[in-house]
Amino acid sequence: MGTVVMYGSVSVDGFIADDHDRPGPLFDWLVSGDVPLDDGGVLKVSRASHDYTRAYWDRIGTTVVGRRSFDLADGFDGTPPSGVGHVVVVTHRAAPAGWDHGAPFEFVEGVEPAVARARELTGDRIVEVAAGDVGGQALAAGLVDEVRMDVVAVVLGSGRRFFGAVSAPQLLDGPDEAVQGDRVLHLRYRVRR
């Protein structure tokens, strides 16, 4: 089975979006460099960010997101982001009306069944769990092996927390990696078992 990784861009004070679900400058590092990160050339980052991020993205098989993220991204237009093979959406609701059921998206109730389904779809590749409430739930349930965060040089003050509403301490080891990009610090921690 592949590694389960909680991942997201985060402000220095621990937020993945403001109070209105807007990321603000959290993704500026993805368009402020000169090295293309995606095939379309829309994302351009520093060389250090490219080498770190591309190597990680190329290993992701399935991404697990919450329904809020799915809705905010307009269902990713039915195409998983960044070349990911599948997306598992944690939700209590069915797929949106008119949804193309042939798209590589599955709608699963509950974090544990969602991560289990993602592992089935992924094989030995990485299961990525989006930071936020779903990521925090997966971490609290003991389902996460690694935490990766792109710490951006901004203080948001309030908003959506990277770890959601985690209510008990969670110990991490490391960091196993710390890579400085342009206005971003990429960190990777192992979850202590």
Domain limits, the chain: 4-191
Cα separation of 9 and 151, whole Å? 6
125: left (phi over 0), alpha (psi -120 to 50) or beta: beta
Query: Given this model, what pLDDT does residue 184 score?
Result: 98
Q: What is the pLDDT along the chain (193 residues), one digit of tens a residue?
A: 789 999 999 999 999 999 999 999 999 999 999 999 988 889 999 999 999 999 999 999 999 999 999 999 999 989 898 779 999 999 999 999 999 989 999 999 999 999 999 999 999 999 999 999 999 999 999 999 999 999 999 999 999 999 998 888 999 999 999 999 999 999 999 999 8
| Rg of the chain in Å (alpha carbons) | 16
Q: Please list, in sequence order, all residues whose beta carbon lies within 8 angstroms of the beta carbon of residue 25, skipping any fewer than 6 positions away.
A: 152, 154
Strands 146-152 and 184-191: antiparallel
**Reported CATH class of domain 4-191:** alpha beta
pTM: 0.95
